[in-house]
Amino acid sequence: MRCKHCDAHLAPHDFWCVNCGKQTPIVVHELASWGSFKRTFKQYWQFKGANIPAAAFAILVGVIPIIAFLVLLNAFGILDFQAQETAGKLLLNLFITGIGLSLLTPLLLIAFKPVCEIKDYTLTLKDLLKGFKAYPRYFFFSLLTALYFILIYIICFGLPNFASDPILHLVWLVLVGYYIGVALPIPILMERKNVNAWKAIRMAYKYFKVVRWQLFWLGLILLVLNLAATALALVLLLITLPLSWFAIRDYIDLLLEYEIIREYKTK
């Protein structure tokens, strides 16, 4: 393979041309997240029924409690952050929301441990239950995520009597999207590299820049699928939730196979 910009010779897994520093087509061709998702979907579909018990358990202990928690917070006005009259009350409500979600979200993330231990596309309930051993690690990851969202909310929306510039409301959307691109590889890195959440975040931020857009689009696709499934009385989550676990695993494994975690220079 040769660089289309300077005609320099490229190694099969080069993300950047070592001569001119331009990005190679590998990211949008071999490493396209949509292509990876379609391959995963094709492999997963024939085993979808075998994943229903594990998915049902995850919905019962994870999805339904999260929905119930948010409904409860909304009933007490805790989620109406803009209506808070004092900075102290706003911060308290933000932390109540963040800590509560940090306790519940790992119940959906622990599936990545058994998913990374199996080679096929069949996650049994027994496999999923083994993932509870990883709960503390995923709680730490969820807590870091909650703190990030609390921080960007304060920066972009301000505190009572200390309003922020309205343009920062759009910046908030950008920061949310960027975090999707950063966070998607983290569970797989935690398992494949046997590192804690903080080290996985640093690795994802440093080494996955070249595929950040691909990660964002995959995360967005999975988010829309699961939100739509949730809106349809949770039934389709029995299919989309395991699909999401496997799709993330397969795409990050593909990136690791292409040696994305390496030192390279661009001009």
The Cα–Cα gap between 107 and 136 comes to 10
Q: Is the pLDDT of residue 50 over 90?
A: yes
Helix (H) or strand (E) holding 46: none
Q: Is residue 95 in some structural domain?
A: yes
Average pLDDT score over residue span 131-145: 97
The SS3 assignment for 23 reads strand
In a domain, 11, yes or no: no
51 located within any domain: yes
Closest by CA to 149, choosing from 172, 183, 182, is 172
Residue 267 forms part of a structural domain: no
Query: Is the residue at 171 inside a domain?
Result: yes
Task: Taking residues 61-78, report their average pLDDT.
Answer: 95
Going 141 to 65 to 135 to 181, the CA torsion angle's sign is negative
Give mean pLDDT, residues 69-96: 92
Tokens of 61: 């202990």
Tell me what the mean pLDDT of segment 135-159 comes to: 95
For residue 13, pLDDT over 90 is answered with no
* Number of structural domains found in the chain: 1
Is 19 a member of any domain? no
- Whether 20 is in a domain gets the answer no
pLDDT tens per residue, range 180-213: 999 999 999 999 999 999 999 999 999 999 999 9
Among the ranges given (79-83, 153-157, 177-181, 260-264), the one the predictor scored with the smallest mean pLDDT: 260-264
The phi, psi pair for 195, rounded to 5°, reads -125, 165
Contact 212, 264 (CB under 8 A): no
Residue 110 has pLDDT above 50, yes or no: yes
Q: Are 198 and 138 in contact (CB under 8 A)?
A: no
Q: Kindly report the average pLDDT of the chain as a whole number.
A: 91
What pLDDT does 12 receive? 67
Domain with 70, as residue range(s), is 34-257
What's at 93, amino acid-wise? N
Contact 15, 24 (CB under 8 A): yes
Q: Average the pLDDT over 44-67 and give the result.
A: 96
Report pLDDT digits (tens) over 227-247.
999 988 789 999 999 999 999
Per the CB < 8 A criterion, the answer to whether 180 and 215 are in contact is: yes
- The Cα–Cα gap between 142 and 104 comes to 9
Question: Looking at the predicted structure, is the pLDDT value of residue 267 above 60?
Answer: no
* Encoded tokens for 132: 């509870």
- Neighbour tally for 38: CB within 10 Å: 12
What pLDDT, on the 0 to 100 scale, is given for residue 220?
97
* Residue 266 pLDDT: 45
For residue 16, being part of any structural domain is answered with: no
pLDDT score for 190 = 97
Contact 242, 122 (CB under 8 A): no
Quick check: 41 pLDDT over 80?
A: yes
Q: How large is the average pLDDT for residues 208-224?
A: 96
Q: What is the mean pLDDT of residues 14-39?
A: 82
